Every structure is written in C-alpha cells, then in structure tokens.
Chains A and B, each alone.
Chain A
C-alpha cells in the first residue's frame, strides 16, 4: 500500500512528463488514488458545510479532486492546506494535500494521533475558521508562555514597524505561533560541574601534565612511567607538575597519592560513572583552562582521543607528547592499541612521541611512510632498571651461577599477548625441565586460559610478586620469555639483572637487546623447537650461558641505567619545561 502510494503520487511531476500527460490530469489521478488509500481523510460533510453545495460541490469528493485541492480548500476539519503550505513551501508545485498524503502513512493520517505539523491557519475570510488544536507543546514552561503572551501585543506592534525591512518577522498569526514555541531550558551537562571541580583541585599553574589511565598495575609501561615520574619530580620539584587521570579505571585512591610527590586529580574523584564523552569534555576544558606547557599522554585512551580529535588546537598552547610501545596485533591480526588507532592521525599535532625501543620507530616509518621531519619527533627512551637510586649500577648485577638443575623462570604480566600457550608447548616438549611462572593478571585485560596448568606437572604458577627481590634467582638456570607483542619488555631486562641466561622471541624491541652474544633469540613467538634447543644448550654449556649473561649485563649498564635515562630524557626537544627546572 505504502509503496504503491509513493509510486502513485510522490514523483507525479516526473510521471506526467514521462507519460506525456497534462500535469493537472496526473494530479487529479494521483489525488484520487491517495484519497482512496486513506479512507476517512476526506470529510464530505465538513466540505459541504464549509464550502457549500453549489454546482459541482454537490459532489464534494469529486469537486475537491478536480478543483478544490488546487484552490487550497481543506479536505477535513483538521487539515489546513494553507497552513501546510507555509511550513512546506516545496509543496507549492502540487496541492499541499497531495504532498502531505504522499509523505505520511495511513496510520498517521488521523487527527487525534498526529495533528498536522503546523500551527493554526490564519482566519479565512471566506468561511468560518477551522477548529484547530493549539500547536504549543505541552512541556513548555508555563511562565515563559505567559510572559510571551503578555509581551506579544508590544512585540507585534513593534514588528509592524519593521515588517518591510525584515519581512520574515511580519507579525502574522503564523509568526506568532512559530515564536510561541518557547524553547525550554535544558539542564547543563554533567561535565561542566566535573570540570569545575577538577580545576578547583588542580594547581593554578601547570607546566607539565601527565595523563595516566592507572598507576598501580605492574605492567612494563606502568613501571617505565614510574621511572619517568621520578625523573620529572627531580626536574620540576614541587611546582608545575601534576597528573590528571581521565579514565574510569584509575586505581589510586586519594589517600594513596602523596607518595608520588605531585598533585593527582582523577575524574573518578567526582564522577566515577561518567561516560566517555563526558570524560573527554572534562579533559578538553581542563586543558583549555590550565594550558600546560607540556602535556604527556601515557596510555590514556581519553587523552589520545583528545589529541587525535583536537590536537591541532591544543598544540597552540601545549607541547603534546605521548608514548607508543609496539605495533601490537591480536588474534587473527586485529590492529589494537594506540600505535594503530591514534598515532598516525595525531602525530602532526604532536611535538614528540616517546618509545622504549627503536624497533617500533622503524616500524612506524615502514607502516606510515613518515617523512624525516616526522620521524624526528620519535624518540627512543630506554627504560632504566638499574642504578635507580643513584647507586652503582654494576653493583646491582647478579652474576650467573648455574644451579645444576633444569629449571626456568617465566616472569611477566599474565596477559593474552604473553602467549602462555607457547610456554605450555615448550613445557610439554621438555618434561624434564621445571618452569616457574611469576606474574600478576590485569583485571581489565582479556582473561587468559590457564586451565592447562593442572595437566602440565612441570609448570608451577607462583602469581604476583612484590618486587624483584622476591624472585629466588638462584633456583633457576634460565629465563624463558614468551610473547607475541612487545616493546622493550622490562621483565627481560630484569632477568638480565638477575643474571639469568635469556631465551626470548624476536618480537618488538627484544632483538635490540637479545642476540647471539647476549642470549638466545628465537625467530618468532611460536618457534617451539628453537626454544627447546636453546634451553638444552644452556643446560649443556653453563659456561657459554655465563658469557652471554655477562654480555647482556654490559648492555644493560650501557643502555638501561638511571643515568642514561636522565641523559636521553633531557635531550628530547621540548619535553622538559624550563621555568621550574630544579636541576
């Protein structure tokens, strides 16, 4: 029915031209069809009463189709053609009633269910005014309408004096009804109050702001961030540095923030249930008002979103920095993470991007075709793992001592990309070797299936550990690392510090640290045979294992000390703001 009605009446002009028929004939036929498809729409009794019964009007429906529709006579008590025309000027090429019928379902063409979307018609001098329901919405504030009604006489008189120089505001009944739709006031969005609270708690002057999603997770990025925070506190002292946490997962309660040595303000402090658009709006206003000289986004989705969408504007007042770690893909190749989703679109507005490995920088050039000046914004900053408290870095190194047993340490965050399924296969291939798993899970991360542990007797899960000193390094003859997505894994660097021979795959930045002189680099995440061969080689030649450990530790001292970290950090153009430099 509806389809036929559209075919019949909507493109009637085109139809008349295509068919070579006079337009009036097509209109007549279309209107006849439309009225037939909408029984009850034409009210013959109303038509006779309003327009009389003279001549052809003794047959009201016929007269309406042939003549009355084009003369803007009204088909019933509630539909006004003139009023409809005022609201739908495009209907002027055909009788408005036909335009209306072509655009509405039969079910909608009922005065009680859906009054025509227009205010009352102007009084018709030829006939009594039609009875039309008031068009004012029912939810308008009565006081506003009352005030409008009180003002209207003065407004009307004033508009009369301007109607020839601004005809749109000719004070007709129609204009009055259009204006009487007083817009109801809306409540301010929640982000306004949240932003005000955040601004009240943030320092009045911010030189360096970090956007962090969480701080208590023991992942590599988070541990690298802690090292960075220490360096920033050393640089800025107690002024100008702050952390803003826009994410819903932020995990440091207000009472536990003092140890970080800088103001920390989280959106969760005021609105833990705020949605993403609210968080983004709050962050944007915080940035506009506080104008940090340096804004550093560390794995904050809200922060990356702000930089990607508004980076050009924000960069007018802030030097924008962020971290990337790896070009991670999961499952069947799903490109996840900031490297793929934000980095390419955001780089041009940014001053710099900091990584913990060179490989991801090389990949960025290969994947995104960056120009030399864009590549110059990418800075590898090796994560420090030794000499953190100013102590002698070499003194922290544990020399390799063969325990005389085939027992491997696996130490990392338990996450889906850490490929514990590969470890299971290695363990199955080496039943004579024991494997001890150390590492915690991240609640927000995709769950990892560890059900196989019960069926693999040579693998023991020890879980999360407080710090590296909790690891009984003397019990292991090797460190085995499995993964399919990495930057520069801190766990691997710490294994070198613990004096363990390392077997790890050539993934992400691992190849920058592990090669044939510093450990055993297997060719890929699932190179089971190479893992097995490497672990057997370590067991059979402890002296060679010791030599490689020593070489790895030399590399560790050279690249991953606190002193080296400070040196590289200070060399990143624009990163450290100078006004409050303590050093």
Chain B
C-alpha cells in the first residue's frame, strides 16, 4: 500500500508501452497493463499510461487510433535508436518510469509490486520482475516456451563475466527517473552490430552503480518466436551484441559498489 500521498501532480509511475509493428497484439499488452494499473491505483498509487509509437506501421497506427483507451496518451517517437525509450522518458512525468514492449504482457501485481518495493528504498535502482514467461506463436505448436527466474544484480567478478556474456534480464523494467537521467538508453546501431540495447543499458547502469532488484512473485509474459527468442529481438544469444560499456573496464578483482541488497 502507498505509505503516504504523493505531493503535487507528479505521478508515482509512468508506464510506457513501446509500440512499433505489433498491430492488434497491442490489445493483450494494453489489457494486461490496464489490469496492472488498476491494481496499483487500487492501492493508492498514481500511474500515468503512455504509448510511444515508433515507425509507421499502418495496422499499429490504426489500432492505437481506434481501440486504445482514451486514458492513454500516444507519443510518436522520431527514429532515435532506442526504440522510443528515451522519447518515453522525455514525454512522461512519473517518479518511476516503466517500460513494456508492445505485444508482451505483465502480471497484475507488477506495478503495485514495484511501487510498494520502491517505497521502501531511498536509492535509485532498476526493478525487474522475478519470473519471465516466454511463449511461442501458438499453443498447439508448443514451441518457444520457457521460464526464466531473474535475480538481484551482483557485481562480484564472476557475475560481471556472466552479465557480459548474456543479458540476465528481460526487457520489462521500472526504474527511477534518476537512473535514466544518469544513464540514458544507448542507441542501437545495426551498422556496428550493436543490437541489444536493453542488455547494453543494463551493463551501463550497473557500471554506474545502479542496482537491479527483483520484485518477488511478479511476472513478465514475453512473446517469443518458435525458437524461444523474444519477438522484440529475435536473435540467438550468440548474435546479440552490445556497444562499448564501462562495465568491460571494471577492474578484474574488484566488486563495484552497489547499494546493499535486502
């Protein structure tokens, strides 16, 4: 529950749904988001819903124009390499800013869980769901299903190696605005082969000292292709790459300082 009223008209959280070519799959995303927003609001939190649209996919544009609940604001992002993430940060006002990839869904307790957890902490950090359910294109096909448990970040030397080898988190997150101010999302750059900006941003935030924390018993439902790769980045792990990150230069035998984990 919200411990006390929020001052002024700054929302407690802005939820940014990133839309580009999802078309009617946005229906599920918005349905799940509305459910999570409703639960957060029922607990007394204020949530600002926002869709950031990238690209000019006509079906997506039509769906947003015709079917999107008017409580949602739609912002059109110029092509800037972050898939609309930084445009979303700039366009919203919340103390916390969360992202959902269009087509994906979240558990009903996701936003309220984050808000409750964030209220117990003072330092800025990044919040992640505990479980990531990946699901393929059709039930009967049975392909693309997986469940991944996420955990609080660690920066012991071995953990840094693991983080630089593979992104341990899915794309769903909520973070304090201060995190985005300090570490903006980098721009994906296919011409350089830097294609996984979520992973890249995670490395950069950890190098900057922002912890990633799990909200227990919350979930991200992630659409995947038949091989289990998220539709938002349908590449096998060996083809995902990040650009330069200060995490590569963290001294080998040291553990960078992060805020203590409960």
Which residues in A have some Cβ–Cβ distance to B below 8 Å? 85-87, 89, 144, 147-148, 151, 154-155, 158-159, 161-162, 165-170, 174-175, 178-183, 185-189, 192-193, 195-197, 199-200, 204, 285, 288-289, 291, 310, 312-313, 316-317
A162-B32, A168-B138 given; A196·B248 CB < 8 A: yes
- Report Cα–Cα, A132/B73, bound state, in Å: 51
- Report Cα–Cα, A288/B249, bound state, in Å: 12
Verify B28–A288 contact, CB threshold 8 A. no
A144 neighbours in B (Cβ, 8 Å): 149
A162-B105, A166-B105 given; A197·B252 CB < 8 A: yes
A180-B147, A192-B164 given; A165·B32 CB < 8 A: yes
18 contacts between A and B (CB under 8 A): A89-B142, A148-B131, A158-B107, A158-B219, A162-B105, A165-B28, A165-B31, A166-B223, A168-B135, A168-B137, A178-B145, A182-B149, A183-B147, A183-B148, A186-B166, A196-B164, A200-B249, A317-B192
Q: Does B156 contact A (CB under 8 A)?
A: no
Residue of A nearest to B191 (CB): A316
Verify B248–A195 contact, CB threshold 8 A. yes
- Report Cα–Cα, A288/B195, bound state, in Å: 13
Closest CB in chain A relative to B12 CB, distance in Å: 22
List 15 additional A-B contacts (Cβ < 8 Å) besides A148-B147, A166-B105: A148-B131, A155-B107, A165-B27, A165-B31, A167-B139, A175-B135, A181-B147, A188-B161, A192-B164, A195-B248, A196-B252, A197-B252, A200-B249, A289-B248, A310-B193
Closest CB in chain A relative to B172 CB, distance in Å: 14
Residue of B nearest to A118 (CB): B142
Q: Does B260 contact A (CB under 8 A)?
A: no
Q: Does B108 contact A (CB under 8 A)?
A: yes
A181 neighbours in B (Cβ, 8 Å): 145-147
Q: Does B67 contact A (CB under 8 A)?
A: no
Tell which of A168, A170, A175, A313 touches B193, judged by Cβ atoms closer than 8 Å: A313
Closest CB in chain B relative to A89 CB, distance in Å: 4
Verify B108–A161 contact, CB threshold 8 A. yes
Closest CB in chain B relative to A154 CB, distance in Å: 5
B154-168 CB mask vs A (1 if < 8 Å, else 0) is 000010111011100
- Report Cα–Cα, A524/B108, bound state, in Å: 82
B162 neighbours in A (Cβ, 8 Å): 185, 187-188
- Which B100-118 residues sit within 8 Å CB-CB of chain A? 105, 107-109
Verify B109–A158 contact, CB threshold 8 A. yes
A89-B140, A196-B164, A313-B191 given; A291·B244 CB < 8 A: yes
Verify A316–B252 contact, CB threshold 8 A. no
A288 neighbours in B (Cβ, 8 Å): 192, 194, 241, 243-244
Which residues in B have some Cβ–Cβ distance to A below 8 Å? 27-28, 31-32, 35, 105, 107-109, 130-131, 133, 135-142, 145-149, 158, 160-162, 164-166, 189, 191-194, 217, 219, 221, 223, 241, 243-245, 248-252
A161 neighbours in B (Cβ, 8 Å): 35, 108
Verify B131–A155 contact, CB threshold 8 A. yes
- Report Cα–Cα, A71/B149, bound state, in Å: 39
Verify B221–A86 contact, CB threshold 8 A. no
Residue of B nearest to A178 (CB): B145
Closest CB in chain B relative to A316 CB, distance in Å: 5
Residue of A nearest to B189 (CB): A316
Tell which of A87, A200, A289, A317 touches B251, judged by Cβ atoms closer than 8 Å: A200
Residue of A nearest to B147 (CB): A179
Closest CB in chain A relative to B69 CB, distance in Å: 14
Residue of B nearest to A177 (CB): B145
- Report Cα–Cα, A426/B109, bound state, in Å: 89
- Report Cα–Cα, A400/B166, bound state, in Å: 67
Verify A199–B248 contact, CB threshold 8 A. yes
- Report Cα–Cα, A165/B221, bound state, in Å: 12
A162-B32, A165-B27 given; A200·B252 CB < 8 A: yes
Closest CB in chain A relative to B82 CB, distance in Å: 18
B244 neighbours in A (Cβ, 8 Å): 288-289, 291
Tell which of A158, A182, A192, A291 touches B108, judged by Cβ atoms closer than 8 Å: A158
Verify A183–B146 contact, CB threshold 8 A. yes
A313 neighbours in B (Cβ, 8 Å): 191-193
- Report Cα–Cα, A376/B244, bound state, in Å: 32
A189 neighbours in B (Cβ, 8 Å): 165
B219 neighbours in A (Cβ, 8 Å): 155, 158
Tell which of B35, B142, B165, B243 touches A192, judged by Cβ atoms closer than 8 Å: B165
Residue of B nearest to A310 (CB): B193
B249 neighbours in A (Cβ, 8 Å): 199-200, 204, 289
B136 neighbours in A (Cβ, 8 Å): 168
A175 neighbours in B (Cβ, 8 Å): 135, 139, 145
Closest 3 CB pairs of A and B: A188-B165, A165-B28, A178-B145
- Report Cα–Cα, A317/B194, bound state, in Å: 13
A86 neighbours in B (Cβ, 8 Å): 140, 142
B223 neighbours in A (Cβ, 8 Å): 166
A182-B149, A316-B192 given; A166·B221 CB < 8 A: yes
A180 neighbours in B (Cβ, 8 Å): 147
Residue from B136, B161, B252 having most chain A Cβ neighbours under 10 A: B161
Tell which of A158, A167, A182, A196 touches B161, judged by Cβ atoms closer than 8 Å: A196
- Report Cα–Cα, A21/B82, bound state, in Å: 59
A161-B35, A188-B164 given; A151·B109 CB < 8 A: no
Closest CB in chain B relative to A242 CB, distance in Å: 15
- Report Cα–Cα, A166/B164, bound state, in Å: 32
Residue of A nearest to B194 (CB): A288
B149 neighbours in A (Cβ, 8 Å): 144, 147-148, 182
A151-B131, A155-B133, A289-B248 given; A170·B139 CB < 8 A: yes
- Report Cα–Cα, A204/B249, bound state, in Å: 9
Verify B135–A166 contact, CB threshold 8 A. yes
Residue of A nearest to B107 (CB): A158
- Report Cα–Cα, A144/B31, bound state, in Å: 29
B133 neighbours in A (Cβ, 8 Å): 155, 159, 169, 179
B138 neighbours in A (Cβ, 8 Å): 89, 168
- Report Cα–Cα, A183/B228, bound state, in Å: 11
- Report Cα–Cα, A188/B35, bound state, in Å: 38
Verify B217–A162 contact, CB threshold 8 A. no
Closest CB in chain A relative to B112 CB, distance in Å: 13
Residue from A189, A195, A196, A200 having most chain B Cβ neighbours under 10 A: A196
- Report Cα–Cα, A320/B111, bound state, in Å: 49
B252 neighbours in A (Cβ, 8 Å): 193, 196-197, 200
- Report Cα–Cα, A162/B245, bound state, in Å: 38
Closest CB in chain A relative to B65 CB, distance in Å: 20
Residue of B nearest to A148 (CB): B147
Closest CB in chain B relative to A55 CB, distance in Å: 31
B251 neighbours in A (Cβ, 8 Å): 200
- Report Cα–Cα, A199/B207, bound state, in Å: 15
Closest CB in chain A relative to B141 CB, distance in Å: 6
- Report Cα–Cα, A391/B88, bound state, in Å: 66
Tell which of B137, B221, B243, B250 touches A169, judged by Cβ atoms closer than 8 Å: B221
Tell which of B32, B142, B158 touches A178, judged by Cβ atoms closer than 8 Å: B142
Residue of B nearest to A89 (CB): B140
Closest CB in chain B relative to A320 CB, distance in Å: 14
Verify A182–B147 contact, CB threshold 8 A. yes
Residue of A nearest to B222 (CB): A169
Residue of B nearest to A168 (CB): B135
- Report Cα–Cα, A505/B208, bound state, in Å: 63
